[in-house]
């Protein structure tokens, strides 16, 4: 008869030792109880299953004694944090989607409302305003450029000197 413990039995003993190590010091008698119970289980595979369960029980007991881990609170916190992160993510995604349109040119919305011009000329000048203004500046250089509806940040064309 082979008196040496089988592989399963050795694993079971190792697991039971680990379970005892995992358990905090206060309920160490429980670890000893689980370990001693192992010696009364004849079947080696059953002993291994028992030891595995004991290890799980030790981890459970360890987690329950962790001050910030009560059985229900962490899940509530995790669920709230997850929901908040999801909401923030959705809001950021929506914001990013609205930013995809390219910025419009600054002069597009510039009001074309020259002050001292008759309504006819105003209509002719300002619809559309960009190209016609440039043409008028070239045709009538003495009047000077009408910069009322052009981009004021752009450099102004040089005015030719009078002879």
Partner 1 sequence: MPRKPNNSRQTRALLAAFLEQAQMWRHGYDLSKETGLKSGTLYPLLMRLSEQGLLESRWQEPERSGLPPRHVYRLTATGLTLAREQELEAVAAERTGALA
In eight-state DSSP terms, residue 53 is: H
Applying the rule CB under 8 A, the residues between 30 and 89 that interact with partner 1 are 30, 32-37, 39-41, 49-57, 60-61, 64
| Packing angle of the helix pair 44-64, 28-38 (nearest 10 deg) | 170
Assess 20 for contact with partner 1 (CB under 8 A): no
At residue 100, φ and ψ (nearest 5 deg) are: -80, -20
Pick the closer one to partner 1 by CB: 65 or 124: 65
Pick the closer one to partner 1 by CB: 50 or 149: 50
Among 1, 4, 25, 29, binds partner 1 (CB under 8 A): 29
Provide the terminal-to-terminal Cα distance of the chain, rounded to the nearest Å: 128
Pick the closer one to partner 1 by CB: 48 or 137: 48
What whole-number distance in Å separates Cα of residue 11 and Cα of residue 15? 6
How far is CA 100 from each of CA 63, 96, 97, rounded to the nearest angstrom?
A: 48, 7, 6
Least separation in angstroms between CB 6 and partner 1: 18
Applying the rule CB under 8 A, the residues between 112 and 131 that interact with partner 1 are none
Among 13, 20, 27, 141, binds partner 1 (CB under 8 A): 27
Pick the closer one to partner 1 by CB: 32 or 156: 32
Least separation in angstroms between CB 89 and partner 1: 33
Pick the closer one to partner 1 by CB: 56 or 85: 56
- Closest of 107, 144, 101 to residue 129, by C-alpha: 107
| Packing angle of the helix pair 28-38, 7-22 (nearest 10 deg) | 170
Give the interface size with partner 1 as a residue count (CB under 8 A).
Answer: 24
Q: In 3-state terms, what secondary structure has residue 139?
A: helix
- Chain residues binding partner 1 by CB under 8 A are 27, 29-30, 32-37, 39-41, 49-57, 60-61, 64
């Amino acid at each position: 008869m082979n008196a040496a413990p089988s592989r399963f039995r050795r694993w079971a003993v190792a697991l039971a030792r680990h379970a005892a190590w995992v358990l905090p010091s206060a309920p160490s008698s429980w670890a000893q109880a689980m370990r001693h119970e192992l010696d009364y289980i004849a079947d080696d595979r059953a002993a291994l299953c028992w030891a595995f369960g004991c290890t799980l029980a030790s981890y459970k007991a360890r987690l329950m004694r962790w001050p910030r881990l009560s059985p229900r609170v962490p899940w509530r916190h995790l669920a709230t944090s997850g929901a908040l992160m999801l909401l923030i993510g959705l809001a950021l995604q929506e914001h990013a989607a609205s930013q995809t349109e390219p910025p419009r040119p600054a002069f597009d919305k510039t009001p074309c409302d020259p002050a001292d011009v008759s309504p006819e000329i105003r209509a002719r000048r300002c619809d559309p305003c960009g190209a016609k203004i440039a043409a008028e500046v070239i045709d009538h250089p003495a009047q000077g450029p009408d910069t009322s509806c052009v981009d004021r940040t752009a450099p102004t064309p040089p005015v030719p000197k009078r002879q």
